[in-house]
Amino acid sequence: MNIDLLIDALAKEGFHSGQALAKEFSMSRAGISKWINKLRDAGYDIHSVPGKGYCFAPYVQPLDTDKIKAQLKGKASCIINRETGSTNEDVKRFFRANLGNRVFATTEKQTQGRGRRGRVWHSPYAQNIYFSLGLKLDLAISELSGLSIVVGLAIADLLKQKSIPIQLKWPNDIYLEGKKLGGILVELEGAFEPPCNVIIGVGLNINMPQQDQQIDQAWHCLSEFSGQVINRTELLIELYQQLTTYITEFCEHGMSQFADKWSQYDLYYHQPVQLMSGEQVQTGTNLGINEQGGLRLQTETGEVQINGGEISLRPV
């Protein structure tokens, strides 16, 4: 049994009877039922209705890979997988093989998705958006501080156009109505002198139902906010276009124009916060960011500026 072909069959619109699937794959209906259960065990959300058959849950919306490739043709190489460990790792392998200067990797499901500090990023099949944009930039690593800020602003501005009131938490978290909507993981590879390989990973909760209990913090998704299932393919293409526009602007003109915009999205702007790095805790008032994308923190002894590292920001 080619499990990928069964997934493709289920991804087609409507119900698919056990009898029709058994005929298509030259096996018994009991055999089809066995493979359906294996897919469920692997995290594929498949509904079954007596007299109708099987279908993916309505919030499971597989990507239109042909449309994505057509939109990105001539702009970036495409890596589109049904399942992968990590799209960031897919991009790194692309660069190591010296296959090009720009690549866009996305997937229906990640098995080793991660956020900052190695945290697991829950990635169910065909419900959310997981992608990585890989770019070879003629900039040194030292010139790329604040890039996660630019990526966050690109996403926030795009969703604001759709009347979604996004909030951003320094340096790379995306919030909606005070709950986690997504995250950004920027990785840099190369020497201190240009060029530099930039890998921008993004995960966004799109159509994932709230009964999914595998996330250990308050979270939100776009479909719950909007009241309708979101077209993941269209949004993914828009995100690629928005990101590349903002990154081009950043490479040509730097951070200053983006730093000015940050405060309108800053989740904890002018609020008391704690910065935690290992065992160290700093408390102060969040004053926003500087022109390098670093956090400005007003403490009892004066203002300090934090420009990165393995740091967690929390409200007091």
Cα angle 145, 153, 77 (rounded to 5 degrees) comes to 80
Q: State the Cα–Cα distance between residues 199 and 190, nearest whole angstrom.
A: 11
For the record, the structure tokens of 84 come out as 């992968």
Residue 116 to residue 308: CA distance in whole angstroms: 12
- Is residue 303 within 8 Å of 287, Cβ to Cβ? yes
Residues in a beta bridge with 284: 273
Q: Report how far residue 35's alpha carbon sits from residue 57's, in angstroms, rounded to the nearest whole number.
A: 17
Q: What is the identity of the amino acid at 145?
A: S
DSSP annotation string for 271-304 = SEEEEEETTEEEEEEEEEE-TTSPEEEEETTEEE
Contact status, residue 226 vs residue 220, Cβ threshold 8 Å: no
Query: Catalytic residues, which ones?
Result: 116, 180, 314
Rounded CA gap, 91 and 258, in Å?
26
Dist. CA 217–CA 290, nearest whole Å: 29
Residue 135 DSSP one-character state: E
Mapped onto helix, strand or coil, the DSSP state of residue 239 is helix
Strands 173-176 and 166-169: what pairing?
A: antiparallel
Tally of CB atoms within 10 A around 177 = 13
SS3 34: helix
DSSP strand pairing (295-299 vs 280-289): antiparallel
